[in-house]
Structure 1
Amino acid sequence: MKPIKEVNILRIKGENINEEEDILVIEYPFTIFLNDKEIITLLCSPKSLKELTVGFLYSEGFIDKLDNIEKIFIDEEKGLAYVNVKEEKPLVEKLQGKRTITSGCGKGTLFYNVLDSFKSKKIEKPLDIKIEEIRDLMRKFNKNSELFLNTGGVHS
């Protein structure tokens, strides 16, 4: 499935109105199952779905390392990921229902739980990041995203 589609739009610049073709990012529901249990449905671009699945499971504490994964199957047409892991974390299973809704435009969901506090580390030294460094990193990030360059809007 392509992550973009071409559509006809009316582009308005000042007083000028032109009909033209533009490119839009496709976003579709993608549901992740872990050991036959539905974990979450994400709205995402249909690209790099295996990486998205593994990254989500890792960042939300469902796996510690790639070796935990026995099998992963992505059904791109149906928007489904089936992942089998060697062993589920019992504490994660008990706490997985405690979700935090983020304030992003799509009301994102995080599985924030007690395990996150064990991973947190205090920054001992002052963190000195210049605003221009952040802007430069954003420019580089966007420049390296072909989808962003074509459409001007991608959640990454």
Structure 2
Amino acid sequence: MPASTTPLRLSPGDVAPDFSLPNSKGGTTALADLRGRKTVLYFYPQADTPACTQQACDFRDSLASLGAAGYAVVGISPDPAAAIVKFAGEQELNFPLLADEGHHVAEAYGTWGEKKNYGRTYEGLIRSTFVLDEEGRIALAQYNVRAKGHVAKLRRDLGLV
């Protein structure tokens, strides 16, 4: 039987995999930096594409209400650091983006795996969102999310409507 390329999935209650990655502000962000606050950690395939731009701008436009409810927002993509810096500046994003260029963090979160698009099968980032609690545990795990309407759905799922 061939080896499966389906990644392991995280579930509520799991400890969030540790990371330290370059951020869009020129520094680094580590999981430890997020402790003490609920965090929406979302993985997106590529900066400056239509779907990823829509999703990032939806988070940007909802950041005040998410923040008022106690949530920080962090985006992660396999883009190089220069690409996320440019993307964050062009879209005036008010939350950090992290560069996971080797997709090691994406693999640890189960967001790197087989994808199908227009009849083609390939390895890539699976758009996914996690809510981490104050101690760094997974409170909510959503895989294969759609960019359009995702933030509104997440807000409903969190009871923030």
Per the TM superposition, whether the score is higher than 0.5 is: no
What TM-score, normalized to structure 2? Answer: 0.23
TM-score between the two structures when normalised by the length of structure 1: 0.24
* Larger RCO, structure (CA 8 Å, separation 6 or more): 2
Which of these two proteins has the greater Rg computed from alpha carbons? 1
Larger strand proportion, structure 1 or 2?
1
